[in-house]
Amino acid sequence: MALGAGFIKYFYVFILFIVTFIASRNSVTEATAYGFMSGVQGILALIFTFELMRDSARGYKAMKIHTPKTYYTDESTIQLPLYWVLFPAIVTQFIASIITAIYTNFLQKKYGYVKLERANQLAFNWYKWGIVIVTIAIAGLLYSYTSDFTGTAVVSQFSSAYTSWLLILVFTTIVFSVMNMKNANHISRIMVSTTE
C-alpha cells in the first residue's frame, strides 16, 4: 500500500509520536516524553492548519450518509466535513498535551518522578492509552482526508465497509479527544492542591 503524497508529512510526524509513546512508558523519561509530545502535537496542529487554509476543496471532503425514504421520513443526506472533526480534535490534543507536560514536569521536579495517588494514577493511565487511541484514529482520518478524497470523490463512492470504518474513526476521535481533555484537566488539579 503506497502512501499518498499529501499524507507523507503526517507519516513522519506519527513516527515521532511512536518515539514519544515508547518514552512515556519509562518512569525516567516520562516527563520529558510528554514535553516532547506537546511539541509533536504542535507540529501536527501547525501542519494541518496550513493544509486546511490552503485546501479549497475542504468542504467536499465530507462524510456523506444517505438516508432512504421511508413511510415516516423523507430521503435526505447528512454531510459532515472531516475537518470539522479533525481540526478540533488536533487542537484539543495539543492543549491536553501541554497541560500534561506542565504537570508531569512539575511532579518530576517535586518528587524526582511522576508520583500520583491511586485515583489520579488511574486517570493518568486512561490518558496514556487514550492518547494512543486518538492518535491512531486521527492518523486514519488524516490518511482519508489527504489521500481518498481526490477530485470529486465522495463517501458514496466508497464501499460500505470503508464508510463504516471512517464513521468509527470519527466517533473514536471525538470521544477520546474529549475524554483525554477531561483527564488532563482532572489530573492538573493536583498541581493546584499541591502548591496550596
Q: Is residue 3 part of a domain?
A: no
In a domain, 133, yes or no: yes
Q: What is the tally of structural domains in the chain?
A: 1
Q: Tens digits of per-residue pLDDT, 82-141?
A: 899 999 999 999 999 999 888 888 888 887 777 777 778 888 888 889 999 999 999 999
Q: Is residue 68 part of a domain?
A: yes
Mean pLDDT of the chain: 84
Report how far residue 84's alpha carbon sits from residue 79's, in angstroms, rounded to the nearest whole number. Answer: 11
**pLDDT range class, residue 3, cuts 50, 70, 90:** low
Note the pTM of the prediction, 2 decimals.
0.85
Per-residue pLDDT band at 1 (split at 50, 70, 90): very low
User: Is the residue at 191 inside a domain?
Assistant: yes
> Exposed, middle or buried by CB within 10 Å (0-12, 13-18, 19+), for 184?
buried
Indicate whether 67 belongs to any domain. yes
Domain-embedded: residue 62: yes
Cβ neighbours for 67, distance < 8 A, ≥ 6 positions apart:
73, 75, 76, 77, 78
Q: Is 1 inside a domain boundary?
A: no
Any domain includes 2: no
Q: Which domain holds residue 177?
A: 8-195
